[in-house]
Amino acid sequence: MTIFKGVATALITPTNANGVDYDNFARVIDWQCEQGINALVIAGTTGEGSTLDDAEHKAVVKFAVERIAGRCVVIAATGSNDTNYAVQLSKFCCDAGADALLVVTPYYNKATQNGLIKMYTTIADASTKPLILYNVPSRTGINIEPETYAALADHPMIGGIKEANSNISKIVHTVQLVGDKLTLYSGNDDQIVPILSMGGQGVISVLSNVAPKITMDICNKFFAGDVKGSAELQCKMLPLINALFSEVNPVPVKAAMNYLGWCENYLRLPLTPMEPAHWEKLKALMDAQELA
């Protein structure tokens, strides 16, 4: 079950003091589609889903589905540390027309591996669209173990993995256990090529907010057999990637998108605008890539 191949932008949600800025949201969606992006993730970490209230979260997904209008794959983020809410939100997003769901591991309350299996099975049983399991232990404090992926791999509504645990050995073990039962995607922009080399089919990317064509080139070169060119481009973009994560995501990318004219540099607490020293470095790297 390949939900998409290539690049899914973990899209920002433009906001201002009055709420979601739908005019700029529409502009960003249109630009990403015009650039040829393969998929868009709506209301995920980069989209500040954790500070969207329930009504906003649903409205953002519904708006995105209607605006995208089939131009690329729509992936709605529906994870929660409350499984009942995740089920309810997943059902809504399926009905709203999302093509797939991105479901993060439960944060703060965590879970055992058995708890993860039960949680993901419960959400998948309620879903009519495939799930991408999102593993990001640096944020949630819990890792999906390779054996847990293997236990979930045969569920017909579990289709992929967004792997952001940064432990390549664990990822190799996962591929060994699940084979092609689950589609592997990189969740880290600095590991696109390593993940592709293990059979990954793409990346769910922050970088592609500001540089969609370049991010797609990394994948497309690899898929075309130009592994050396793909690796060289990965390395060339590494300083910019690091700068986009010099503070917690999405603080830097929101500043970057503001610089490019796509949104206000507005964040909801507890997030605050980028520190000046970090911003100057990010700005210089964006200018060097001629992104502005």
Contact 253, 291 (CB under 8 A): no
Distance (Å, whole) CA 111 – CA 124? 17
Distance (Å, whole) CA 147 – CA 151? 6
Q: What is the dihedral of CA 233, 234, 240, 246, to 10 degrees?
A: 180
Over its C-alpha atoms, the chain yields an Rg (Å, rounded) of 18
Q: What are phi and psi of 52, to 5 degrees?
A: -85, 135
* Catalytic machinery residues: 134, 162
Contact 182, 149 (CB under 8 A): yes
Place of tokens 């922050």: 206
Task: Render the burial of 86-103: b for 16+ CB within 10 Å, e for the rest.
Answer: bbbbbbbbbebbbbbbbb
SS (H, E, C) 64-80: HHHHHCCCCEEEEECCC
Q: What is the DSSP letter of 269?
A: T
Q: Which long-range contacts (CB under 8 A, 24 or more apart) does 23-26 make?
A: 24/262, 24/263, 24/264, 25/60, 25/63, 25/64, 25/67, 26/63, 26/67
Distance (Å, whole) CA 146 – CA 163? 11
Contact 62, 54 (CB under 8 A): no
